[in-house]
Amino acid sequence: MILNIALMNLESLSRIVHVSSEGFALLCMSIAYFVSKKKEVGQLGLFLLVGFTVDIIARSVPRTSIVSELNLMIYCLFEAYFFLFYLAKPLNLSKKFMVIASFVIGVWWIYTSFFIEYRPAIVHGYHPYFDMLYEGGGAVLAALSLLKLTQKDKEEVNQFYFWSLIILFYYTFCIFYIHTFNGLKAVQSVWYISRYIDALALLSYSALAIVSIVQYKKQEQREIA
């Protein structure tokens, strides 16, 4: 009984930590974009905005409703495409490959979402058959892109993009395991841990945005001087 109460308190705390860090990260990234007008900053800001909107919708409807499930399912599709196009930039993949990969992602999402009967331990819209591929694939893409960037001179590398890849690698690598084993009942008692993982990534985005703002302001001052 005491253990169950403690777990409920930890889960509630994780929800508060996640919401707070998410809102702060979105605010910092939005300011960073309006200050710098850099494309990568805007793309990451859009990613955070969509995630924040999805969380608001998820908390506005019953957790077991079809709207809640569709909300998260659609977000997973968006996240998969974001990872594909954002993480793979340094790899210079051909247009043909990107088109084929986009098609495969869409087809696999439809198949796993609507044609495979699956009852997870946690009632939500995540599906490990889809999630483990795009999140595991995202970790691989981030790792390969980081390796590609380390082969260049420091002056040639976009530092904001480089550090965002490190954060996304951490996020996709960690969440990959939790979503993969979503069907196991043991995961149900520790599901809230994923929020702490996400919160750490969000706080890292916030720090990255703040550093980006400071660096841009310093650059402006040097140009004026």
pLDDT digits (tens, 9 = 90+) for 89-120: 999 999 999 999 999 999 999 988 888 766 55
pTM (2 decimals)?
Answer: 0.86
What is the predicted pLDDT for the residue at 137?
93
What is the predicted pLDDT for the residue at 6?
46
List, as one string, the DSSP characters of 92-122.
Answer: T--HHHHHHHHHHHHHHHHHHHHSS----SS
Burial profile 65-95: b = 16 or more Cβ within 10 angstroms, e = fewer: eeebbebbbbbbbebbebbbebbbbbeeeee
Rounded average pLDDT over 196-206: 91
Contact, 183 vs 128, CB < 8 A?
A: yes
Three-state SS for 191? Answer: coil
Contact, 82 vs 145, CB < 8 A?
A: no
Mean of pLDDT over the chain: 84
Confidence band, pLDDT 50/70/90 cuts, at residue 209: very high
Three-state SS for 183? Answer: coil
First to last CA, the chain: 66
Assess whether pLDDT exceeds 50 at residue 218: yes
What is the predicted pLDDT for the residue at 109?
92
What residue has token string 């990872």? 83
The tokens describing 166, both together, are 């490190």
Contact, 113 vs 130, CB < 8 A?
A: yes
Round to whole Å and give the CA distance between 180 and 136.
Answer: 9
Round to whole Å and give the CA distance between 37 and 34.
Answer: 6
Burial class (CB in 10 A: 0-12, 13-18, 19+), 32: buried
What is the predicted pLDDT for the residue at 192?
66
What is the predicted pLDDT for the residue at 71?
86
